[in-house]
Chains A and B, each alone.
Chain A
């Protein structure tokens, strides 16, 4: 680890914290339906959307109506993306003549992008036409992100409203977040990325004659416009196979910084929205602080593990001072690669600027653990906040048990129904992650996947199902996922990871919104101080640890011990 490396990390954290409040204020205005500086331009577009689709944006929907609209909307998104991939050979914007995507791969990809996962069992530049990249993948990047923010806003309204029948309007949330937040930010980001060198064209791939006279075909495409929303919407699906390690998708250290900031900025701002809505911004800062503690610990472990280099290679005569460079790019080095890995898995992004599969055993264990904890460290746009608020409910419940009082959180009594629904949302993740990992390690179709042998092969399988369930999308890329077995099981895992968590979460929102606000008394457990932050971090770590420690022991921990003993597989 170097001083310069830590300066980069601290600068990054400082910018995220500094942006949380101003962007939170803007997001709050958008979600409350207030006028913004963009209203004169975008107001007519917004009203046009409502008029054409026949919705009343002021209708206060029950949690069930909100949920129903969201589910059907994403069902159409899935169908549209599936159709575009199957028909791409006959459609325009296909200069490389990409043929139709196979049905199982197309279904996996459609589920992957509709759920904000962006797991990729394909290489972008060798599989997808420009039309699919734009009208298929880019669109789902926007809509799944907007819907994540909408859902978090709905849960926040559950806490903020008293004796209300509804939790807001899904269509209004969806349209407003897309038009007033995501699209304008993406337009600015696209131009920034092009300035840094990210291509934005519709040309066929370029054929170059190299200096030594060889032939090099260089993939092109409308990369920047997709990259902008890929990061901002914490989607993470790369235009190219190598994702943000590709020099066209992340050309400079500056583009790398902006990409990392885009991943976290909206998620961090959502904590501030929560604070504003419940009338006490300290509540939001407390949530962000708990996230921050877990984040910094993760960065430290990964950076330490990667910067030390691989002892097996050091013994062969490789200089360890530059760290473990397998799967990393020179322009980023260890600090920015380690930081990116933690950022992308703390949020549910899944973009990578270095290959997690080639990380040191403990360096790769941190991204894995981040996802296993439910991606509550800032998290995906929206998804992180509602995940963390579910853990906050468990925390006040645990605290309530200790003192024998009915738990309260930001003025709402937490009762049996909320706790049951919260546990349902939290338990569906381990069910699919551990269930499918176990299945894949005993049947031949599963065992055919890993590229590496030994404990690392197990980690590859475990990482895949974890990433899918957590809707992250990053991978231990050695796993051959484009098979009937992995395409189908991973698609199911992604659907469960997204929707089986959202439905009970919205039920919590609905039941909280209907409750009366309780007044703060001397007996109220304060949820904005250090004690609560500590308890929240403890609950996250204990729930995650108890659930997954055995599996982590079989993968990264076993591999680390084997490596220290000098074993190779």
Chain B
């Protein structure tokens, strides 16, 4: 086995140089040159300031905007650095709730959210509006969850509902090639198109 020490060590170092430096740095250079927008994180700028990324959900609470899904991300508690506090859509620290299907905490949280949205057994709410996503940064909601919010947004902005509904339709993506994934609405892009309405 002693005679394996040199090959093992040299191989590991060569692999590290090739696969750990040449490959990722080379790919960074190439990707940045030919697809700079994506390589830099699909960022959106408005008036010269970065306002987010098309791929990363944001926290919306006001009536004037469509809301995304609940988010389980956290951040360091400002009062006690050993703890964490809820911080929805914290894109520096993705996190899911990891609550199991029989969790009391899950059932209580959902009960509260259903009540807030005015849902009931007879008038159920879309599941994505009361469940947290896998990343805590889901940029999308289902078309059903968006439809539920049209009246509120239209009223808050003083726009006709038909206008808001048209913007929603334009922001709805169907399945890729008609087959892959699920129909979805990018919340940030929909809200940007609302802001663009004069």
Contact = CB atoms under 8 A, between A and B. Distances in A.
A247 B56 contact: yes
Interface stretch (A324-332, A381-389, A482-490): A324-332
A72 B5 contact: yes
A54 to B, nearest CB: 6
Given A197-B38, A333-B182, A317 B120 contact: yes
Contact of B100 (A139, A248, A358): A358
B12 to A, nearest CB: 4
A53 B102 CA distance: 56
Given A225-B27, A240-B94, A325-B131, A54 B7 contact: yes
Nearest to B6: A54
B125 A317 contact: yes
Interface string A109-129: 000000000000001011000
A199 B65 contact: no
A87 interface: no
A555 to B, nearest CB: 10
Contacts of A4: 175, 179
Interface string B126-163: 11101111111111111010000000000000000000
Contact of A209 (B50, B69, B142): B50
22 contacts: A4-B179, A126-B93, A138-B23, A142-B15, A143-B12, A143-B19, A194-B39, A197-B42, A197-B54, A199-B42, A201-B39, A208-B43, A211-B191, A212-B58, A219-B91, A224-B31, A242-B94, A253-B181, A320-B127, A325-B127, A357-B98, A478-B99
Interface string B82-105: 000000011111111111111110
B29 to A, nearest CB: 9
Interface stretch (A265-273, A347-355, A368-376, A427-435): A347-355
**9 closest A-B pairs by CB:** A253-B181, A245-B134, A135-B20, A478-B98, A456-B100, A333-B182, A242-B94, A53-B10, A242-B135
B8 A76 contact: yes
B180 A254 contact: yes
Contact of A358 (B98, B130, B175): B98
A563 to B, nearest CB: 5
Contacts of A217: 90-92
B81 interface: no
B134 A312 contact: no
Given A219-B91, A327-B132, A319 B41 contact: no
B51 A210 contact: yes
B15 A245 contact: no
Contact of A52 (B14, B58, B133): B14
A454 B102 contact: yes
B66 to A, nearest CB: 11
A331 B92 contact: no
B197 interface: no
B15 to A, nearest CB: 6
Interface residues of A, number: 132
Interface of A: 4, 7-8, 11, 45, 49, 52-55, 65, 68-69, 71-73, 75-77, 80, 123, 125-126, 134-136, 138-139, 142-143, 171, 174-175, 178, 183, 186-187, 190-191, 194-203, 205-212, 214, 216-220, 222, 224-226, 229, 240-242, 245-248, 251-254, 256-257, 309-310, 312-333, 336, 352-355, 357-361, 451-456, 459-460, 476-478, 559, 562-563, 567-569
Contacts of A477: 96, 98
B119 A187 contact: no
Nearest to B117: A317
Residue from the set B31, B56, B130, B175 with the largest chain A CB neighbour count within 10 Å = B31
B127 A323 contact: yes
Given A76-B9, A220-B41, A327-B133, 8 more contacts: A8-B180, A123-B95, A211-B60, A211-B188, A220-B40, A247-B55, A327-B97, A330-B182
B53 to A, nearest CB: 6
Given A209-B51, A211-B188, A330 B141 contact: yes
B119 to A, nearest CB: 4
Given A211-B191, A309-B127, A326-B97, A222 B28 contact: yes
B165 to A, nearest CB: 19
A216 B111 contact: no
Nearest to B49: A209
B116 to A, nearest CB: 11
Contacts of B62: 212
A360 B104 CA distance: 14
Contacts of B133: 245, 325, 327-330
A125 B93 contact: yes
Nearest to A247: B55
Contacts of A242: 94-96, 134-137
A562 B102 contact: yes
A318 B130 contact: yes
B103 A569 contact: yes
B4 interface: yes
Contact of B110 (A201, A318, A567): A318
Contact of A72 (B4, B25, B93, B138): B4
A45 B15 CA distance: 11
A226 B28 CA distance: 11
B135 A329 contact: yes
A229 B135 CA distance: 21
Nearest to B136: A242
A317 B15 contact: no
A569 to B, nearest CB: 6
B96 A246 contact: no
Given A209-B49, A319-B124, A216 B98 contact: no
Contact of B8 (A69, A126, A201, A476): A69
Given A199-B39, A329-B138, A330-B128, A174 B101 contact: no
Q: Which of A4, A241, A310, A325 has the most CB of B within 10 A?
A: A325
B114 A316 contact: yes
